Amino acid sequence: MCPPDYFGIEYEINPWMNVRVGSDAERSHRQWTALYQTLQQLGVAVDLIEPVPGLPDLVFTANAGLIYRNLFISSNFRFGVRQGEASRFEAWAQRRGLEVIHLPAGSYFEGAGDALFCGETLFAGYRFRSDVRSHQWVGERLGVEVLPMELVDPRFYHLDTCFCPLAPDWALYYPGAFDEYGRSVLRDRIPNLIEVAAEEAISFSCNAVVVGTTVILNQGAPKLAETLEQAGFAVRPLEFSEFIKSGGSAKCLTLRIDGEEAASWKREAPAESHPGT
């Protein structure tokens, strides 16, 4: 995570952002800290990267890149205003001992904001930020199956605003953000797929952080909370109103280092070496 010291609405690169509305520094700090403390209470060790003046969206660490085992595929941000973040995230990845990988120049890719593992498969959203060729390249580079899906509603411009894997065979999604092909791919491939209603999706309830079976999301999605609880998940609603003004919520403020709960590779034992055999 990255503390929101320099967070603000300084430009408009998605339909949520309005520089004339702006955000409240004190409130964003409080909301960010509540997420940070909730994660710590759940036993999560959180690595922090240093906030940088002039990079207000650095708080949205989900967009730093995609982590797979010891590899860090660094993002190629679509908009110039965010491109300065890449070197900061890469420096962090290097310090962590991850191998930093770059996409071919001229392709766009916004990391875990647009590419999420559910089981063995990487589900990937394209059009507004990442492009489809980047996802194909990532799939080949990692040797994993990628299912690119077009995002059709500019309010849901990153995949993590409308889709959230919960476990290898569980996910939630907002159907209106996908075309018929995307919806059918999700329905065919994910056995337990929870539909989020339009009025709850619009408050970023799909943008959830999953820790074990606990789901942290923006408050104000009672129907989804009930469905999740019936399915055996514990729901932790928090307030993210300041970050929603920038088009982000809980999940965008985090980047999972050790593999999302839903990613099969998280569960696989690391390759063992057998000296002498």
DSSP-based three-state secondary structure for 122: strand
Comparing CB distances to ligand ARG, the nearer of 60 and 89 is: 60
Q: How far apart are the first and last CA of the chain?
A: 42
Among residues 2, 135, 158, 164, the one annotated as catalytic is 158
Residue in 88, 135, 155, 158 binding ligand ARG, rule: CB under 6 A: 158
Instruction: Show Cβ contacts of residue 85 under 8 Å, excluding neighbours closer than 6 positions.
Output: 55, 57, 58, 63, 64, 75, 77
Verify binding: residue 260, ligand ARG, rule CB under 6 A. Answer: no
Helices (H) and strands (E) in the chain, counts: 9, 12
Are residues 121 and 145 in contact, defined by beta-carbon separation less than 8 angstroms? yes
Give start and end residues of each alpha helix (H) in the chain.
25-41, 80-83, 85-95, 132-142, 180-189, 198-201, 222-230, 241-244, 264-267
Residue 241 in contact with ligand ARG, rule: CB under 6 A: no
Q: For ligand ARG, which stretch binds (CB under 6 A), given 11-19, 147-155, 186-194, 266-274? A: 11-19
Could you tell me if 57 and 85 are in contact, meaning their C-beta atoms sit under 8 angstroms apart?
A: yes
Q: Establish if 247 lies at the interface with ligand ARG (CB under 6 A).
A: yes
162 is catalytic: no
Coil, helix or strand at residue 158: coil
Residue 13 engages ligand ARG in binding (rule: CB under 6 A) = yes
Chosen residue from 246, 255, 256, 263 binding ligand ARG by CB under 6 A: 246
If binding is defined by CB under 6 A, does position 85 make contact with ligand ARG? no
> Tokens 């050790």 correspond to what residue?
258
**What's the chain's Rg over C-alpha atoms?**
18
- Pick the closest to residue 27 from 179, 203, 243 (CA basis): 243
Should residue 65 be labelled a site residue for ligand ARG when binding is judged by CB under 6 A?
no
- Considering only 252, 255, 262, 263, the residue that binds ligand ARG (CB under 6 A) is 252
Question: Using an 8 Å Cβ cutoff, are 215 and 209 in contact?
Answer: yes
Q: Give the interface segment with ligand ARG, choosing from 95-103, 145-153, 245-253, 263-271 (CB under 6 A).
A: 245-253
Which stretch in 169-177, 180-188, 227-235, 246-254 sits in contact with ligand ARG by CB under 6 A?
A: 246-254
Within residues 44-63, the interface with ligand ARG by CB under 6 A covers 57, 60, 62-63
In the list 160, 200, 242, 261, the residue contacting ligand ARG (rule: CB under 6 A) is 160
- Residue 72 in the binding site for ligand ARG (CB under 6 A): no
Binding site for ligand ARG (CB under 6 A): 13-14, 17, 57, 60, 62-63, 82, 113, 158, 160-161, 246-248, 252
Query: What is the set of active-site residues?
Result: 158, 252
